[in-house]
Structure 1
Amino acid sequence: MKKFFLIFILALIPFASTTVSAESDLPLNSEAGIVIDAKSGKVLYEKNMNKKMYPASLTKVATAIYAIEHGDQDELVTVSKKAAEADGSSVFIEPGEEIELSKLIAGMLINSGNDAAIAIAEHMSGSEKLFMEDLNEFLRKEVNVTDTHFMNPHGLFDKNHVTTASDLAKITRYAMKNATFREYFGNKDLPWKVKTWDTTLVTHHKMLKGEIPYKGITGGKTGFVSKSGYTLISTATRGEQDLIAVTLNAPSGKVAYSDTELLFNYGFENFKSAKIDKKSILYSADHSKHYKLNEDLYYTHLISDEPSLKTSNDGILSIMNKEGKAIASFDLKTVAEVRNTEVPARIKKETIHEEANKLSVPSLEWGGFVISIILMTVFLKKSRKNRRTRY
């Protein structure tokens, strides 16, 4: 009986599959581009993602999340002459006008107001220069960017105002964890009444406002100056999967959107997000320790793949593919509560990572399913025969 159930369990274990790579060369026309899984941070595809480039108004994503996290959203901001006279796109605010910080942030994101960006910077740090010191430090220490240095809060051209597609994806991923930012970033329009202007602001992002429809689009920010070309950040969700796409220096707006669609389609059609629930308890390989997670853990795998979980004796949880290669790993000592576990030697020898099996819920492979049915049938026939023999 015990042998039968062991065989039955083994028959249900799925065949492993390939690494997290969907070998493809996307025909992107933008100079740089990237698409990431927003939950795991996994890079699904990239082109020149670490090349330093000019972001234009994509800069405002960083200004917005900093102001949301460090400012009082209900405070009134007094607009300076410098802010009101900012070059480029504007929300038409006037010197001396008092406007709520939350309203300026939303207007800056939706209508890309350079005047709003300067007003926010001066309010937050006392001057635009000091704000840039604060913002750059925040991006390095809190968001962990490595190749970004911003010279202003709006993105008008400066030869030293640079970032990368990779860093912009990180900044957007960080920002999208904030509910207030997500609300502003996903707004298609905003009633706007200031001293000299009573209107409705409409997002510049053509996918978001439906001019270029895309299923699942949740937010976006556009950018353009002649030195940067057309730049674009977009977010989209389908089912449990959240993606972030960035394109830099496209030759036209049309190309920026078509490249974004290519990146999104590639991500949604080839990859899947998976979660290890924070309520789970994992055991070390020798069962001497167990780990109670403090947070949900996310990883990304090919849609065709059903990875297995493996925990080492020193607390490293690895997500393994068919070839025995780790496609993701977590140090459980930093994301879980660690405790010693007293487990009888017999159980240590016979137990097959029960928690790992629970977490990696397999879809039954036909081969294993057929074998299981055959074995069950044989077992039942044998049981009936034994009962007839006794009687």
Structure 2
Amino acid sequence: MFAKIATIIVILIGQTGISASVKDTLASAFSAYVPKAESVIARADGEEKARLADEVVSSLAPLPGKISADSTIFVDAKSAIVLDAATKEVLFESNGNEKLPMASITKVMTCLLAIERGNLEDVVAIKQEDVIETGSDIDLRSGEEIRLDDLVKAALIKSANDAAQAVARQVGGDSKEAFVVMMNEKAKELGLRNTHYVNSHGFDEEGHYSSAYDIALLMSYAMENETFRTITRMKSHEAHVLNFDQRVIPISATNKLLIQDDSLIEGGKTGFTDEAGESLVTVAKNPNGHRIIIVLLDSPNANRFPETKRLIDWIYQKYDW
């Protein structure tokens, strides 16, 4: 443990303007570990340094205590996972690393990148290539002007495919392909080893996949962003076209757990295609403020919502923070 702490201290000292006296004090306190830590860090690139930092932070976070060690639960989903958002500990897992189509859960990455790298106040001029009438949409029309903020909310709350397409083109510098490159670069940055994107909306395409574990890691990261966190818990919104007839577009959430006013539900994202089946990533937070991420991929028989609720209840009965 102390070796890990020494490692992160060396990283922080190297990246900040900490005074020499403070550095000497820290070096003295960890004198047996700092040389080894410096050697490890010298061989690490930027991504590895970030991983080391995450590892130390996770190791210092409080671990859940088991209440009922013998209890078990089974799910019908092809792949499922429950992740402790603070420690990244896997609390439940069934085929959690299997590569599967993720459908509209793709839009978590799409909207996160728009929030991080775009200007939500930008006005987006809709092009014909943005108009998608397959699956969920908000009936965007070529020539309409709408703020990026409204498009992000339409994609994340209503799962609108046309909105996601317009978001990708706008943030990608008028190139959907460039945006997909950004998506895969972000996935690599976050250590999502079983994830690869081909599009921004989640339609079934060869090479477009993720795993329940990777999705949980991504959602855990996304929930640290206040803007993303605010949008993902919204049940409805009104988007406004700024030109032509200035129509108002009503947007309603697709997440039934959110609509049901469950006090534990903090947000999430639905997904469905013929190949992916019904999928769902959900964020829950108990009264003590401890957050968990639940992911179900390819859940049969319209079972994703009750099965997610059953997992949430089971986890909070099984573990105590």
Instruction: Please tell me the TM-score bracket, short chain as reference.
Output: 0.7 to 0.9
Q: Match of 1:124?
A: 171
The alignment status of 1:215 with 2:263, answered yes or no, reads yes
On the 8 A contact 2:66/2:319 being kept in 1, the answer is no
Match of 2:248 among 198, 207, 214: 198
Match of 2:222 among 152, 167, 175: 175
On the 8 A contact 1:91/1:108 being kept in 2, the answer is no
How far residue 262 of structure 1 moved from its aligned partner, in angstroms, is 2.2
How far residue 167 of structure 1 moved from its aligned partner, in angstroms, is 0.4
SS in 1 for 2:111: helix
| Partner Cα separation in structure 1 for residue 207 and residue 69 of structure 2 | 36
The alignment status of 1:49 with 2:96, answered yes or no, reads yes
Cα deviation code 1:291-331 (max 9, x no counterpart): xxxxxxxxxxxxxxxxxxxxxxxxxxxxxxxxxxxxxxxxx
Match of 1:244 among 278, 287, 293: 293
| Partner Cα separation in structure 2 for residue 232 and residue 248 of structure 1 | 7
How far residue 192 of structure 1 moved from its aligned partner, in angstroms, is 2.7
How far residue 257 of structure 1 moved from its aligned partner, in angstroms, is 1.2
| Partner Cα separation in structure 2 for residue 20 and residue 127 of structure 1 | 51
The alignment status of 1:145 with 2:192, answered yes or no, reads yes
The alpha-carbon distance between structure 1 residues 187 and 80, as it changes in their structure 2 partners (threshold 3 A), is same
The alignment status of 1:233 with 2:258, answered yes or no, reads no
Task: Name the Cα RMSD after superposition.
Answer: 2.0
Q: Return the index of the structure with the highest Cα Rg.
A: 1
Give 1:37's aligned amino acid: D
Which structure shows the higher strand fraction? 1
SS in 2 for 1:157: coil
How far residue 215 of structure 1 moved from its aligned partner, in angstroms, is 3.5
The alignment status of 1:257 with 2:320, answered yes or no, reads no
Cα deviation code 1:45-69 (max 9, x no counterpart): 0110000001100000011111100
Q: Match of 2:22?
A: none
| Superposition pairs of residues 261-280 of structure 1, within 5 angstroms | 261-273=309-321
The alignment status of 1:58 with 2:108, answered yes or no, reads no
How far residue 23 of structure 1 moved from its aligned partner, in angstroms, is 4.5
| Partner Cα separation in structure 1 for residue 283 and residue 216 of structure 2 | 10
On the 8 A contact 2:65/2:320 being kept in 1, the answer is no
Q: TM-score scaled by structure 2? A: 0.75
| Superposition pairs of residues 1-391 of structure 1, within 5 angstroms | 22-125=69-172, 126-141=174-189, 143-194=190-241, 197-210=247-260, 214-238=262-286, 239-253=288-302, 255-273=303-321
Q: TM-score scaled by structure 1? A: 0.62
SS in 1 for 2:280: strand
How far residue 202 of structure 1 moved from its aligned partner, in angstroms, is 1.1
On the 8 A contact 2:283/2:293 being kept in 1, the answer is yes
On the 8 A contact 1:80/1:95 being kept in 2, the answer is yes
Which structure shows the higher helix fraction? 2
How many aligned residue pairs are there?
253
How far residue 206 of structure 1 moved from its aligned partner, in angstroms, is 0.4
On the 8 A contact 1:241/1:272 being kept in 2, the answer is no
Q: Percent identity?
A: 32
| Partner Cα separation in structure 1 for residue 299 and residue 92 of structure 2 | 17
On the 8 A contact 2:67/2:318 being kept in 1, the answer is no
| Partner Cα separation in structure 2 for residue 202 and residue 92 of structure 1 | 14
How far residue 144 of structure 1 moved from its aligned partner, in angstroms, is 1.4
Cα deviation code 1:196-218 (max 9, x no counterpart): 753421101001011xx533111
| Partner Cα separation in structure 2 for residue 240 and residue 162 of structure 1 | 31
On the 8 A contact 2:146/2:240 being kept in 1, the answer is no
Unaligned runs of 5+ in 2: 1-63
On the 8 A contact 1:190/1:201 being kept in 2, the answer is yes
The alpha-carbon distance between structure 1 residues 233 and 130, as it changes in their structure 2 partners (threshold 3 A), is same
The alpha-carbon distance between structure 1 residues 79 and 57, as it changes in their structure 2 partners (threshold 3 A), is same
Give 2:206's aligned amino acid: K
Give 1:27's aligned amino acid: F
SS in 1 for 2:256: coil
